[in-house]
C-alpha cells in the first residue's frame, strides 16, 4: 500500500462520510484507482471536517467534478481510462480549482509535468496521510484572500498595462482578464508585496506552499510556477521584465513605484 503506514480506515466507511460532531468544511474530490487509498483518505479527511467524494478513474473524476464542483482535487497520476495528467489538463480548461497530485513516479521530470499542466502541488507515494492533510490545508488557505503588507490601500496595483487587484484576486491586461490559479495569484501577491526585493526559493516555498524544502527537487515547485506566471504575464517570457531572476538567490518582482506613497500624502 503506497502510504506510510498510517491506515485509519475500517469496513464501515463510505462515500462522503462525515463525523456527526464535525460540520462540513470544503468539499474535496479524491481520485485514485486504488480502493484502499480512497478509503483511507476519505475517512481521514472526513474526520477532520471535509466533505469527501471519490472517483476511481479519470473519466469518473471529470464527471464527479462537473456534478459537484469541489473546492480541491487530490489526483493520482497513474489511472485507467484517463491518467492524472489528462484530467489535470481538462480541469484547467474550465476551472482554477486547486489540484494536489499523487505520484509514484521516481523521475523528477515526471513529477514536474503535473505542475507544468497546472497542478498546485504534488505528494510522492508512498506518503504520509498527515503530510497530504497539511498540504491540503495550506493550499486551501493560500487560495483564500489574505491581506498582504506593502501594497496600496486600494488593493489595485498598476504596472504598465497590467492591473493587479488584490481584493478580487484578479489580474487584467487592459480590459482582458488573465486567468490565474489561486496558488499562482498567491505567488504573484507575495512577490509584489516586496517588489524590488529578492525572495529565495526556500522563502517562497515556505510562504506560499507552507513547508520548508527537504530536498533540492522541492524548490522546482517554485520554478515551475514562476515559469507559468511569466507565460501568462510577460510579453516575452524568455526575456521577462516583470518577474526577474535574482542570480544565486531566487526571484523578485520589478520595483513598483506606485506602491510607494508620494511625499506629503
> Is the pLDDT assigned to residue 231 strictly greater than 90?
yes
Quick check: is 2 in a domain? Answer: no
What the block records as the C-alpha cell of 226 is: 514562476
pLDDT of amino acid 226: 97
Report how far residue 245's alpha carbon sits from residue 219's, in angstroms, rounded to the nearest whole number. Answer: 14
Cell match 495569484: residue? 185
> Is the pLDDT assigned to residue 15 strictly greater than 70?
no
pLDDT of amino acid 103: 87
CATH of the domain at 122: 3.40.50.2300
Going by C-alpha positions, the residue among 51, 106, 97 that lies closest to residue 77 is: 106
264 — pLDDT class (breaks 50, 70, 90): very low
Scanning 147-205, the segments in alpha helix (DSSP H) are 182-193, 201-204
Domain termination residue (choose one: 143, 170, 200): 143
> 3-state DSSP call for residue 15?
coil
Using one digit for the tens of pLDDT, what is the confidence trace for 113-147?
Answer: 999 999 999 988 888 888 899 999 988 887 665 44
Using one digit for the tens of pLDDT, what is the confidence trace for 57-111?
Answer: 999 999 999 999 999 999 999 999 999 999 999 999 999 999 999 988 666 777 7
C-alpha to C-alpha distances, 113 to 63, 93, 120, 230, nearest whole angstrom: 23, 16, 11, 17
pLDDT of amino acid 13: 33
* Global confidence as pTM: 0.77
Domain count across the chain: 2
The domain in which residue 173 lies consists of 156-259
Q: What is the DSSP letter of 127?
A: B
Domain termination residue (choose one: 93, 122, 143): 143
Who's near 104: CB < 8 A, 6+ residues apart? 2, 77, 78, 124, 125
pLDDT of amino acid 178: 95
Q: Is 181 in the same domain as 249?
A: yes
Average pLDDT over every residue of 32-37: 95
Quick check: is 148 in a domain? Answer: no
Q: Is 218 in the same domain as 165?
A: yes
> Is the pLDDT assigned to residue 259 strictly greater than 50?
no
Quick check: is 132 in a domain? Answer: yes
Quick check: is 6 in a domain? Answer: no
Going by C-alpha positions, the residue among 6, 170, 137 that lies closest to residue 71 is: 137
Q: Is 64 in the same domain as 139?
A: yes
Of 173 and 18, the structure prediction assigns the larger pLDDT to: 173
Domain termination residue (choose one: 143, 164, 191): 143
Average pLDDT over every residue of 37-64: 96
> Is the pLDDT assigned to residue 6 strictly greater than 50?
no
Question: Using CB atoms within 10 A of its CB, is residue 198 exposed (0-12), middle (13-18) or buried (19+)?
Answer: middle
Of 219 and 184, the structure prediction assigns the larger pLDDT to: 184
Q: Is 53 in the same domain as 97?
A: yes
Quick check: is 10 in a domain? Answer: no
CATH of the domain at 188: 1.10.10.10
pLDDT of amino acid 142: 75
pLDDT of amino acid 16: 40
Q: Is 59 in the same domain as 119?
A: yes
Report how far residue 128's alpha carbon sits from residue 90's, in angstroms, rounded to the nearest whole number. Answer: 28
Who's near 239: CB < 8 A, 6+ residues apart? none
Using one digit for the tens of pLDDT, what is the confidence trace for 147-198?
Answer: 444 455 557 888 888 999 988 889 999 889 999 998 999 999 999 989 999 9
> Is the pLDDT assigned to residue 18 strictly greater than 60?
no
> Is the pLDDT assigned to residue 35 strictly greater than 90?
yes
Q: Is 176 in the same domain as 248?
A: yes
Q: Is 107 in the same domain as 204?
A: no
Q: Is 121 in the same domain as 166?
A: no
Q: Which residues of 32-45 are buried (b: 16+ CB within 10 A; e: fewer)?
A: bbbeebbbbbbbbb
Quick check: is 127 in a domain? Answer: yes
Amino acid at each position: 500500500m503506497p502510504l506510510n503506514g498510517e491506515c485509519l480506515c475500517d469496513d464501515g466507511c463510505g462515500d462522503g462520510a462525515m463525523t456527526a460532531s464535525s460540520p462540513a468544511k470544503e468539499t474535496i474530490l479524491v481520485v485514485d484507482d486504488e480502493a484502499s487509498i480512497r478509503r483511507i483518505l476519505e475517512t481521514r479527511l472526513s474526520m477532520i471536517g471535509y466533505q469527501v467524494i471519490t472517483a476511481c478513474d479519470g473519466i469518473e473524476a471529470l464527471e464527479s467534478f462537473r456534478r459537484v464542483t469541489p473546492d480541491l482535487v487530490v489526483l493520482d497520476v497513474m489511472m485507467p481510462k484517463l491518467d492524472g495528467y489528462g484530467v489535470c489538463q481538462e480541469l484547467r480548461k474550465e476551472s482554477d480549482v486547486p489540484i494536489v497530485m499523487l505520484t509514484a513516479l521516481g523521475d523528477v521530470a515526471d513529477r514536474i509535468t503535473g505542475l507544468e499542466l497546472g497542478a498546485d502541488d504534488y505528494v510522492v507515494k508512498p506518503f504520509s496521510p498527515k503530510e497530504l492533510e497539511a498540504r491540503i490545508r495550506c493550499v486551501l488557505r493560500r487560495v483564500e484572500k489574505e491581506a498582504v503588507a506593502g501594497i496600496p490601500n486600494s488593493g489595485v496595483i498598476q504596472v504598465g498595462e497590467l492591473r493587479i487587484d488584490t481584493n478580487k484576486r484578479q489580474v487584467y491586461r487592459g480590459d482582458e482578464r488573465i486567468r490565474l490559479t489561486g496558488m499562482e495569484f498567491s505567488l504573484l501577491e507575495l512577490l509584489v508585496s516586496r517588489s524590488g526585493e529578492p525572495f529565495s526559493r526556500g522563502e517562497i516555498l515556505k510562504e506560499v506552499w507552507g513547508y520548508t524544502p527537504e530536498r533540492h527537487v522541492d524548490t522546482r515547485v517554485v520554478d515551475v510556477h514562476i515559469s507559468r506566471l511569466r507565460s501568462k504575464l510577460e510579453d516575452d517570457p524568455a526575456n521577462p521584465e516583470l518577474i526577474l531572476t535574482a542570480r544565486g538567490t531566487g526571484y523578485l518582482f520589478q520595483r513598483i513605484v506606485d506602491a510607494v506613497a508620494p511625499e506629503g500624502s
